A and B are shown apart, each in its own frame.
Chain A
Amino acid sequence: DAGVTQSPTHLIKTRGQQVTLRCSPISGHKSVSWYQQVLGQGPQFIFQYYEKEERGRGNFPDRFSARQFPNYSSELNVNALLLGDSALYLCASSSRWTSENTEAFFGQGTRLTVV
C-alpha cells in the first residue's frame, strides 16, 4: 500500500510569492495534518483537517491556509512568502481525528526554500 505522498519534494520560491503544497493520505485515512519543520527544530503543528473540515489550527499567521478535498487529499497554501517560511513541510495522515489511539503516518515532506 502507498504511504503518505507529498508533492513537490523540493521547491524554490521568491519572497512575496505564493506556494501550494499537496498531500495524499494513506488510503482509508480521513484525517490530514500539516507540520512545519524549520532546520534544527522539531515539527510545529499548522493544521488538521478531517472530513473536509478544519479541526485544529496552530499558531501560524493567516498567510497559511489549507483545505481538504472529497478524496481526503489536502493542499497547504502559503501567501506572501517570507524568508522565514523556508522549512520542511510535513503532511501526516491518520485514520481517526481524535487523540484516542492516535497514530500519525508522515510523508517525506516538501522542502521549501524562499530566496
Chain B
Amino acid sequence: AQSVTQLDSQVPVFEEAPVELRCNYSSSVSVYLFWYVQYPNQGLQLLLKYLSGSTLVESINGFEAEFNKSQTSFHLRKPSVHISDTAEYFCAVSDRLLTGGGNKLTFGTGTQLKVEL
C-alpha cells in the first residue's frame, strides 16, 4: 500500500517570494512521483514528474522538485511566485512495478497555494 502526505493544506505567499510545498510518501516498493496542479473548476494538469535519472526535475513555468529517496520526499519549489500560480497542488505516486500492471495514482490531500500582492 502507498500513501502520500502533504502536511500543508494552505500556503499563503506574497508575489515574487519563494515557496516550497512539501510532499512525503510511504511505499514498500519503488515509485514514480508526480506533481499535478488544479485551477478552480478544472481538472488536473501534470506539472512535473520524476521517473528516473536526475533527482531534480523542472517544469516549463519555473517550478522544480527534488526526489529524496532517503527522506521519501518530493518537495515542490519555486524561487519567485506569480499571482497566476494560485491553485491547488497535488503530489502523487505510482507503483513502478505494479503487480498485474496498471498505472494507478495515489494522491495526497492537496496544498492550496494562494499568492497575494
Interface set of A (CB-CB < 8 Å, partner B): 4, 31, 33, 35, 40-45, 48, 50, 55-56, 58, 90, 92, 94, 96-109
Chain B 79-104, CB within 8 Å of chain A: the 1/0 string?
00000000000101011111011111
Q: How far is the CB of B29 from chain A (nearest CB, A)?
A: 10
CB distance from A46 to the nearest CB of B (A): 10
Contact of A99 among B41, B44, B46, B95 (CB under 8 A): B95
Instruction: Tell me whether A107 and B96 are in contact in the complex, defined as CB-CB below 8 angstroms, given that A56-B102, A101-B51 are known contacts.
Output: no
Given contacts A45-B106, A102-B32, A107-B43, 18 further A-B contacts (CB under 8 A): A4-B43, A33-B104, A40-B109, A42-B107, A42-B109, A44-B107, A48-B104, A55-B100, A56-B104, A90-B43, A97-B103, A98-B101, A98-B103, A99-B98, A102-B94, A104-B105, A105-B46, A109-B43
Please tell me if the beta carbons of A102 and B43 are within 8 angstroms of each other in the complex. Answer: no
Residues of A near B78 (CB, < 8 A) are none
- Residues on B with beta carbons closer than 8 Å to the beta carbon of A100: 96
**Contacts of B107 on A, CB cut-off 8 Å?**
42-44
List, sorted by A's number, 30 A–B pairs whose CB atoms are closer than 8 Å.
A4-B43, A31-B103, A33-B104, A40-B109, A42-B108, A42-B109, A42-B110, A43-B44, A44-B107, A45-B104, A45-B105, A55-B102, A56-B98, A56-B104, A94-B103, A96-B103, A97-B101, A97-B103, A98-B102, A99-B32, A99-B96, A99-B97, A99-B98, A102-B94, A103-B46, A103-B49, A106-B43, A108-B41, A108-B43, A109-B43
Say whether B55 faces chain A, with CB atoms less than 8 Å apart.
no
| A109 to B38 CA separation, bound complex (whole angstroms) | 11
- Give A108 to B43 CA distance when docked, in angstroms: 4
- List residues of B whose CB falls within 8 A of some A CB: 4, 32, 36, 41-46, 49, 51, 90, 92, 94-98, 100-110
Number of A-B contacts (CB under 8 A): 80
Query: Cβ of A92: which chain B residues have Cβ within 8 Å of it?
Result: 44, 105
In whole angstroms, how far apart are the Cα atoms of A106 and B41 in the complex? 13
| Cβ A42 vs Cβ B90 within 8 A | yes
- Residues of chain A lying within 8 A (CB to CB) of residue B109: 40-42
Closest B residue by C-beta to A3? B43
